[in-house]
Amino acid sequence: KAGVTQTPRYLIKTRGQQVTLSCSPISGHRSVSWYQQTPGQGLQFLFEYFSETQRNKGNFPGRFSGRQFSNSRSEMNVSTLELGDSALYLCASSLNGGVDTQYFGPGTRLTVL
């Protein structure tokens, strides 16, 4: 079974731009979660989607948003980029969310200049 895939793997943007990251979960998995990883804050939960609905969101500003499609693929969007948004963005999929184990993709490394 193919693992979680994320595209693109690397991105360079400038302040004020917006960016869209994509995540394809493991086949059959219906829950997708997003995490941000930075050297200072570590790994932090962004949001979780299940059946095209956002079930929960972490403590991030409204500039961070996402969506999930009927095939469980998910995208996250960051608008009006700030230097502090530079991070590794990791997507994780699980069967149905909840206590199911989350399997992570390789991440998208975003650099904001």
Among 87, 97, 110, 112, binds other proteins (CB under 8 A): 97
Q: Which of 89, 84, 82, 109 is nearest to 14 (CA)?
A: 82
| Among residues 45, 60, 65, 86, the one that binds other proteins under rule CB under 8 A | 45
Rounded to the nearest whole angstrom, what is the least distance from the CB of residue 71 to other proteins in the complex? 20
Q: Does residue 26 interact with other proteins by CB under 8 A?
A: no
**C-beta closer to other proteins: residue 14 or 96:** 96
C-alpha–C-alpha distance, residues 70 and 1, integer Å: 20
Q: Which two structure tokens, joined as six digits, stand for 22?
A: 């994509």
| H-helix segments, 1-113 | none
Q: Does 92 bind other proteins (CB under 8 A)?
A: yes
Backbone angles phi, psi at 84, to 5 degrees: -70, -5
CA nearest 5: which of 87, 110, 104, 71? 104
Q: Name the residues that contact other proteins, by CB under 8 A.
A: 31, 33, 35, 42-43, 45, 48, 50, 55-56, 58, 88, 90, 92, 97-99, 101-107, 109
